[in-house]
Structure 1
């Protein structure tokens, strides 16, 4: 169903990440929400067309509620990243991988459906997970930052389709990823404890990716928590769970315990 949350009038950013240690300290509350651009990293929760551009358009009924046609989102309507863009007064983000009709003047989206923090040792056709893991997305961002200014210097239409140089330090950097790392473990028949044991490595690789983005200009970060994997219909349908492990909300409590360990 299409969500209709109230319009985000202000975005009070509390940048929390216990595993990151930056110098100088940047984990602070933003004093202003005047962001001229957004650069997004993640999975299907925020993919606005990356996987569709790479492997074929997400088919109907995706997009039917709001866009009235497939729009690169694995959803019938808009995603949270779309509402954030609306609130900031910037256009919906074009996918970095989409070469057709893309406008990157106010940011770019590096997310692809099925992405994980840790690179998967399988192909997309084998597991369903995207090869565009978070470390790849951070490299794409770094490359985009450099090349976009070269393209912009050509003037004309090229100048209007690329972000201004100072937008990179003033932009909002949003990251929504980690859910698929947990389900990848379940697909390999790992136990809940084994999946939980892999979380420190996930956080370590996540931290490294954020540090790489910071090193090339990112300053304001919006980091989403991992959602309750145990409440996803496909988790309940595909992975072994006993009746005793279902909580009062109908969710699989062991899977949600793993999710909470990523918070």
Structure 2
């Protein structure tokens, strides 16, 4: 039953039988047969079918909620039993918004050092993608904004407040500036993250509050790409100060942005569930300790 529920969750996520089968590592006929068997066991139609996937029935939507809960509980049970036998081990899956990636090692490094049997994978994802990955049990924890968009019924641990600075080439006219206002920033040739990124939506909101219009001449969903373009001296960009400091070099200058000194809270989120799997529970305990310290 659990294996069939996992396949059902994957189908609901992928919305395509072929992609879902590939993600599950089975043939498409095997996936279709498993979903059909699940429907027969439950006595309800779960998936609307035609020549292709057409969505879930109302019963299917309800079963999806139960499936996520049951699969998560089954994984927690298996991990608890393994922990009893072998101690804490396993694979921790983390997703973080791009602007928080430089902060991730402050959490993962001490955790791995304390638990050598643990491995970690870190994904760079948008805030919306992180919530979807949590919901579909594809990650264990996320690091994202806590204030600007709803994170739902999730455990939240505030980590730090993101404040912003201008990143520009050191040899431009701004090279000696100690601070700069948002209105002055809006008049510069800028390269910024794309509008599907929450960081960009936050920046647009701050600029709107001070009645400053900005029209970047280059956009990208890659922070590395933005820094590479700033290196040319033709653009500047706006970045969280902690990230800018970690990536800046001798050719780049970071300038705090004032009037106002704006910020957004970033924190860790995990699906609210008791009991947590031992691995997630241990990580949450350590993150809370680090956040308090």
The alignment's TM-score, normalised by the length of structure 2, stands at 0.27
Larger radius of gyration: 2
| Structure that is richer in helix per residue | 2
| Structure that is richer in strand per residue | 2
